[in-house]
Every structure is written in structure tokens, then in C-alpha cells.
Structure 1
Amino acid sequence: MREVKVDLGEKSYSIYIGYGLEEELQAFVRRAGFSPKALLVTDTNVGPLYGSKVKKLLQAAGLQVEIAQVPAGESSKCLAVAEGLYTKAIELGLDRKSPIFALGGGVVGDLAGFIAATYMRGVPFVQLPTSLLAQVDSSVGGKVAVNHALGKNLIGAFYQPKAVFMDLALMKTLPKREIYTGLGEIIKYGIIYDAEFFAFLEQNQQAVLSLEPEAATHMIARSCEIKAAVVSQDEQEAGLRRILNFGHTMAHAIEKETGYVRYNHGEAVAIGMAGAADISVQLGLLPADAAARVNRLIAALHLPVQAEGCTVEAMYKDIFHDKKTVGGKVNWVLMTGIGTVISRNDVPEEVVKRAMAARISR
């Protein structure tokens, strides 16, 4: 087992990474000081596989657990589904020390975290991410949210979990596409922070794709270490944390234009990273061969570098609804090398549109 600590003073917590974490989870619950009533939020994909098992584990640790199962998919990350969960929490009599557990991927984590942050102005929250994407991205860092019809993650909060348990044994039921989407975010960490980690992904492609235990543990732990290091220095995205948004500005536009159904998040991020690398080259910030390395690794890990079903004009309009846009200026995270990035809000419209055009497949 690997333990990664997120250092946020009184809000610090640990991420536990390994195979078979039942005893660690139960020991944590017993010492946490929670009220006995708890809510376990999951979805229609993960719930039937692991819901009852996790419920029994938590009950054996002394909790009275009820399961709330939401429909799988991005459409559940909305205020209507959130209201149903609030109703369930009230009917169950959850109090301010009643924990909410999120068992599932990023949608479940974001939704359950948003409920935990706002129910009674905040109750304890524990992440049990089951997808590779959630393990390396949304479960770490305390950003919780629901979507609005006009944009993704526009209604949310910064709210840290009490702990994160990543049992890698649960990934054995993940479809291949879900593995690939997690790799999109993992590639990002190498690009923004760690050239050696990027090289590790290049040199161990087969072990990475097949989630061999040693490679899987290393890449998940290293991704969490990088995110924890960034979040510890900038919890609420005042500066440094913006680098975690590399590839996301264009990605969110692609997701919106394709109705959040054609591409999952990691796929959209992969296309967005290729787009951001393109912008970086156009501005003279990045050598073309470094952008080529990014594109090669994305493709080698079974991720797209172009999108279908988008137009440049619609995508360009969408980026101004992105929450990273301030005062009408889009904050782009751009590469200066493998492992180093900067933030710029002065990228010319024609440069952005040229990069977007290159990301749309004909």
C-alpha cells in the first residue's frame, strides 16, 4: 500500500492506494468520530458490483448505512439529482457528523461531494473512487460540483474529503475505454510537472495499458503526489493550481458540443492537450518535436487527438463560458517543455481557432 498525504493544515488528509484496503477503511471509520448514520452514494454501474460489499464493510465498522444509487453517466451530475439526494439525507436523519461516502467514478464523486459540502453546510465526506480517471483526478483536491445546461462544473465548491481510499482491485471490472480515459489525465501530470514521469509512460506503454500492478500503483501514486503537491500550495485555484487545467479549456468545449456523450472526460482532455500543445508551438513557446511527443503518447495510449461533431465557431464561443475565463479573457495553460507550463490570457483569436480547426476531424 502507498499513502499520499495532502497537506492542507487542519484540512489535511491521506490517500490510500493499493490492492485490498478493507482493513484500512474499517480502521479509519472506527477512529473518525462519525455519527452512526451514513449515506453511500453510487451509480447503476458500480452499485450492483460493489455496493453491498462496501455497505457490509462499513456496517462491520459500526455504521448504519443506506445506499443511494443514481443513474450512471454525466447527466446525473445536476441539481435535479442532487435534490433527490438531499431528500434522502433528510429522510434518513443524517446529522452534521454523518458521513457521505462516494463509491464510483468522477460523476459520483463530484455529485456526492457537492451534497456533502452543502447539506447542513457541510458533513464528512469520504472518496472511494473505482475508476482510473477518478483515482488520479476528481477524487483528489477537493473540487466538487454539478453541471448547468450552459456549462460544466459551474455550480460547486472547494470541499476536502476526510480520506480517499483507492482499492485498485476494483479496477478489474473496468472496461478498456475507462482505462484509456484515466490515462488522459495521467499523461497530463507528466506534461505539467514531471518530465521523468512522462518518459516512464513513453517507455512502459504496454504495462501501463494493461494496468500491471507495479506500473498501475506507480502511475496512480505519482499522479496523486503531483496533484497533492499542487493543491497543497494552492487549494482554491488562485495561481499554481491552474496548471491542473492543462488541456481542459478546449476539452470542456468539446464535451459541450458533443452533448457530454460522444467523448468521455479523459478523451476530451487528450484532444485538448494536443490543442494546447499546438497553441504553444504557434506562440513559439514549445519546440515542435515536444508537441509531437505529446501527440504520439496520446495516440499510443489509445486516446484521440481529434474530435468529431464540433465546429470551430461553436467551440470558440464555448470557451468564454468556462470558469477559467475571467473578465472576458481565457486563461490558457500552455507548454514551455515536457514537464513545464505557464498560464497566458493573451492568446490571439486566430491562433486558438487554427489550433481548434486542426483538432476537428473531417
Structure 2
Amino acid sequence: MNPDTRSFALGSYTSNVVFYDSISPLSISNASLVICDTNTEHIVESCGEAAHAPRMVLAPGESEKSMPVLESILRTAVEHGLSRGDTIVGIGGGVITDLVGFAASVYMRGCRLVLAPTSLLAMVDAAFGGKTGVNFSGYKNMVGTFYPATDVHIAPSVLASLPEREYRSGLGETIKNALLGDEELLGLLEREHQAVAARNPEVLREVIRRGLLVKCGIVEQDLTETGIRAFLNLGHTFAHALESVAGFGTWTHGEAVAWGTAKAARLGELLGITPSAYRTRIERLYSEYGFRLHAEASHELLIEAMWHDKKLKDGRLYFVVQSGVGQTQLVPVEANTLREVLSD
């Protein structure tokens, strides 16, 4: 079966999302340099022409998302004589897609970028929409660009070998996307818990497709996060702070997002915006998928980390809260309110 390709206009860019069926392997051509990690190199070996391109293999993990590793990618591109018209391909999870996207955006002021996400989290979130970056000075995604990939290849078959914790991490973002605008997807995640957990191929493809399309619809309206794209940060101000304070890698990103989205629901409830029943629905769903909703971390260190977040505006810290599915707003929050939320 031929892949289903959909094109999205993102500012001055066009980004094509190539949806494969539930069993087809990746197939990527015209790669000038392939970047992967030791966990995804086996996927590269079976993805068509890209298997024969020059390759750089990184260590897995959040620690690679750094300026020194970025520099090593750029140096490798120079050594292989890549031009601005050549293509850098990133095959891996969110660390790879963020890092390789950043490298492509600054190499000769922008070369062609193709991404093939191999984790659920990267498929429904990190690979699409042009956000690139590295961690810097101990804080998450502090340095980066907006640079959408020309093509994003979504092949659910590669998730068969994904470790269970990483798979569940992706569900943290998938549930968040459903909350932002797809009641049908949210209901599917509630009804088909066992099938989703078991990675049923057909159910999983539909979950990925719907979860990603929520993000596509938002980013198409606001590439550079001057408006509604900020809603995609539901739970993320809490999450990024937890990742920083606990130490990158202690919590996976999706685990932190699940915790953070539950905290955002509690925040909205305290502010009189989020109905208690909706908060309970969110917490119940995350709990059913095995997410931790309690974190042992210093409240003051978490709040300090939040002040380094990109949602800081005019000296005030803003949070994304909801009154229901698809009913989202951005509100300023005082430190004492955050202390109350974190104490629950």
C-alpha cells in the first residue's frame, strides 16, 4: 500500500507528512547524511537508499541534546562536503529530531531536512512543526530555531521494538494532544486502553494519525508560537521544570508531561476555570496508563526553573489551562498559587 501523504503550509515552509500503513517499513531516498543513535541504527539498515548514505551514530539519551554534539554534527556535514541543497536525515526519537533539526537549520543557513521519528512521542509531537533545539545551561530547549522538515515519515511498524517505558512516554503527549482538540481520540484512548497498551497495529495507527493531526492543525495556524501554538505547551511549564530539577533523563519527557498536565488541571481548578469532573477525567486516564502523578522535588527549585521557561512574558509566568476538551486558554499565575498546586 502506498503511503498517505498530506501537505501542510507552515509559514513560508511546506511540510509533508508521509503516513505509512501499520506494517510497512520506512523507505527514504536522497539522503546526504543520516543521523541516528545506537538504538535506531538497525532501522536505518532497512530504510531504503538512506541505508547507504554517510552515517553518524550518536549515543542515546537526553545528554546528547547539547551544543558540543550539535557542533560535531555540523563538523561531520562539512567533512562530507554537504551543500545547502543536500539533505540531512534524522532517524530516531525526540532527541534526534530536535537536534538534527537544529543542525539542518543552521548549516549553511538552512539545508534540506527529512525526519523519520521512531518513538511514539516523536511521531505525535517532536518531529512535526519545526521546533528544534538543544538543552543549555541546565535548562530544557533553551537554544533553538523554528525550522520545519520538508518531509516527516510516520511508520508505526518501527514502534514494535520500542521499550515499554518509551512507548508509554509517547502516550503522555498523545493524551495531551487529544485534550487540546479531539474528543473522539480521547474517547478512543479511554475505551481501547488494552489495545493501545498492547500496540494493536490498526488502533495504534489511528491513535498516531489523530494525535499528530491535532498538532498539525494548530501549527498550521501559528508556526512561531505567537498565538495558539502556545496551547501545545499544556502541562509543559510544569514538565520542563521537573525534568530540569530531577536531572534530565530521570523522568522521560512524556512522564513529565503527564504529571505536568495533571498539575495544570489542578491549577485550572484552583483558578475556577477547570471543572473538577474534567480534572478527574484527566487524572484517571493518565493513571490508567501507569503514569506517576506525584513527584518528589523541591517546590522552590521547581518554581525557580519555571522562571526560565519560554512562557515568561512581561515579567509574568503564564500557564496553559482548560475548561474542557479543546477549550484552552493562557493565564498568568502567581508564585503562591503554584506553591499550592505543587503541595497537592
In 1, the alpha carbon distance for the partners of 2:323 and 2:248 equals 30
Match of 2:9 among 7, 10, 31: 7
Question: Is 1:208 the counterpart of 2:196 in the alignment?
Answer: yes
Offset, 1:323: 1.3
1:300 match: 288
1:9 deviates by 5.9
1:311 aligns with 298
Separation in structure 2 between the aligned mates of residue 151 and residue 123 of structure 1, nearest angstrom: 27
Cα deviation, residue 52, structure 1: 2.5
Q: Residue 251 of structure 2: which of 263, 270, 294 is its match?
A: 263
Q: 1:340 and 1:325 mapped to 2: Cα distance?
A: 22
| Residues in 2 aligned to 1:9 and 1:153: alpha-carbon distance in whole angstroms | 22
Q: What count of residue pairs does the alignment treat as equivalent?
A: 341
- Runs of 5+ in structure 2 lacking a partner? none
- Equivalent residue letter for 1:315: L
Aligned residue number for residue 45 of structure 1: 39
Q: CA deviation at 1:180?
A: 0.5
| SS across alignment from 1:200 | helix
1:349 corresponds to which residue? 335
Report deviation, 1:127: 0.5
User: Aligned with 1:144: secondary structure?
Assistant: coil
Partner of 1:57: 49
Q: What secondary structure does 2:36 align onto? A: strand
CA–CA distance in structure 2, aligned partners of residues 243 and 9 of structure 1: 18
- Structure 2 match to 1:32: none
With normalisation by structure 2, the TM-score equals 0.95
| Per-residue deviation, 1:53 | 2.5
- Distance 1:151-1:273 versus aligned 2 partners, 3 A rule: same
One-letter code of the match for 2:254?
G
Measure the CA separation in 2 of the matches of 1:288 and 1:199. 18
Contact 2:241-2:302 within 8 A present in 1 as well: yes
**Inter-CA distance 151–234: structure 2 relative to 1 (3 Å threshold):** same
Q: Select between 13-22 and 129-138 the one with higher mean Cα deviation.
A: 13-22
Q: Deviations over 1:135-188 (max 9, x none)?
A: 001001010001102311111000010101011111111111111000000100
Listed as ranges, the matches of 1:129-144 within 5 Å are: 129-144=117-132
Once the two structures are superposed, what CA deviation does each residue of 1:297-354 show, in whole Å capped at 9, x if it has no partner? 001112111113x110100111000112122211200011133211112x23222111
Deviating 4+ runs (over 4 angstroms) = 20-24
Q: Which residue of 1 aligns with 2:74?
A: 86
Partners in 1 of 2:145 and 2:26 — Cα distance? Answer: 31
1:144-155, aligned counterparts within 5 Å? 144-155=132-143
Can you list the C-alpha shifts for 1:20-61, whole angstroms capped at 9, x where unaligned?
5558644xx4xxxxxxx71100012111x223323x5336xx
Residues of 1 paired with 2:276 and 2:61: CA distance?
A: 37
Quote the residue 1:332 is aligned against: 319
* Aligned equivalent of 2:263, options 252, 257, 275: 275
Provide the secondary structure at the position in 2 that maps to 1:68.
Answer: strand
1:160-239 to structure 2, matched below 5 A, reads 160-239=148-227
1:104 equivalent in structure 2: 92
Cα RMSD (Å): 1.6
- Can you list the C-alpha shifts for 1:1-32, whole angstroms capped at 9, x where unaligned? 44343223651222112245558644xx4xxx
Unaligned runs of 5+ in 1: 30-36
